[in-house]
Amino acid sequence: MTQPTTNIPLLLWPGLAADERLFAPLVERCSNMRTPAFIEPEPGEDLRTYARRYAEHLGPSLPEDGRYAVGGFSFGGQLAQELAAVLDPKPLGVVLICGVRGRHQILPGFVRQQRIGALVPGFIARRLYTPVARRFAKREGLADAATQLLVDMASANEPAFLSWSAAACAHWQGPPSFDVPLRHIHGAHDDVIPDMRSEADETIEDAGHLITLTHPDRVAAFVDSALAGFARESVA
C-alpha cells in the first residue's frame, strides 16, 4: 500500500452521479484526502457563481497558512478550478483526475444528453440510474464490487442536484485564471471526457474514465507526487 510522502490536505470533489465513495480506493492509500459536502445550488446558477458562494462557505474550514490543495474528478475538477481562483487563502495547487481543461473536452453528445435529461421528471430519472450505472460499469470493465459501488452512488443521487450539475458541466465556459500550478492525470481511452489535445501530465494507457476505481495505485501515486511538488514549489 502506498504511503503519502506529504501531509498537505487535498480537498477533492467527485464527478456527476458520484460521491465521496468514488475516492475510497485513494483514501486507503492517501489519508490526507477529504471530500467536503456540496452546498445546494440556487435556481439558474452557473458554476462560476456557485463556486463563489461555495468558497465563502469553505473559507472558515481552510488552513490559515494556505497549506492545502484542491482537486476533482471530471465535473469535480471543473469546480476545483473555479474554486482555485476565489478561495482565500488560495490553495497550493490543483489536481485533476480525468479532468476538464476547457470547452473542447465537452462533447456535443454530452450536451444533448444533458438537455434531454433535464426534461425527464425526477421520479422517472431515479428509475434509470441503476441500469445506466450498470451499463457504464460494464463498458468500463469494472469488477463486481466496483460495479455495485457505482450503482449505489448513482442510486443515492438527488435528481435536482444531478440535473443542475450536469447543466453546469455542459455549459461551463472554461477555466478562470488562477496563479497556482495544476497537475492532471487521465485515462487514454476516456470517451466521456477525452483528453483530445494530450494535455494530461500523466496518461494511463489501458484506462477509461473511472480510473480511481480501475487504477487506484497509479492515481494515488500521481496525487502524492503532485502534492509533494506543490509543497516544494511553495517554498522555492
C-alpha cell at 30: 492517501
- Give counts: helices (H), strands (E), the chain: 9, 6
Helix or strand holding residue 231 (H, E): helix 216-235
Place of cell 516544494: 232
Secondary structure string (H, E, C) spanning 135-177: HHHHHHCCCHHHHHHHHHHHHCCCHHHHHHHHHHHHCCCCCCC
Residue 140 within any structural domain of the chain: no
Residue 219 is assigned to a structural domain of this protein: yes
Domain count, the chain: 1
Question: Is 162 part of a structural domain of the chain?
Answer: no
- 156: number of Cβ within 10 Å: 12
For the stretch 41-59, pLDDT in tens is: 998 899 999 999 999 999 9
Distance CA 34, CA 27 (A): 8
- The 10s digit of each residue's pLDDT in 171-202 is 999 999 999 999 999 999 999 999 999 999 99
Residue type, 27: V
Asked whether residue 137 carries a pLDDT value surpassing 50, the answer given is: yes
Q: Is residue 209 situated within a structural domain?
A: yes
The Cα–Cα gap between 128 and 14 comes to 20
In-domain check, residue 124: no
Q: Report the alpha-carbon distance of residue 2 to residue 223 in Å, rounded.
A: 11
Give domain status of residue 141, yes or no. Answer: no
Compute the average pLDDT of residues 204-220.
96
Residue 95: how many other CB atoms lie within 10 Å? 29
Greater pLDDT, 60 or 117: 60
Residues 197, 61: Cα–Cα separation, whole Å: 36
Grade residue 5 by pLDDT with cuts at 50, 70 and 90: low
- Residue 4 falls inside a structural domain: no
pTM for the whole structure = 0.93
CA end-to-end span of the chain: 30
Comparison of pLDDT for 10 and 123, the residue scoring more: 10
Range of the domain at 186: 10-106+174-235
Quick one: what percent of the chain has pLDDT higher than 90? 82
* H or E element at residue 53: helix 47-58
Q: What is the CATH number of the domain that holds 222?
A: 3.40.50.1820
Residue 58 lies in a domain: yes
pLDDT at 124 over 80: yes
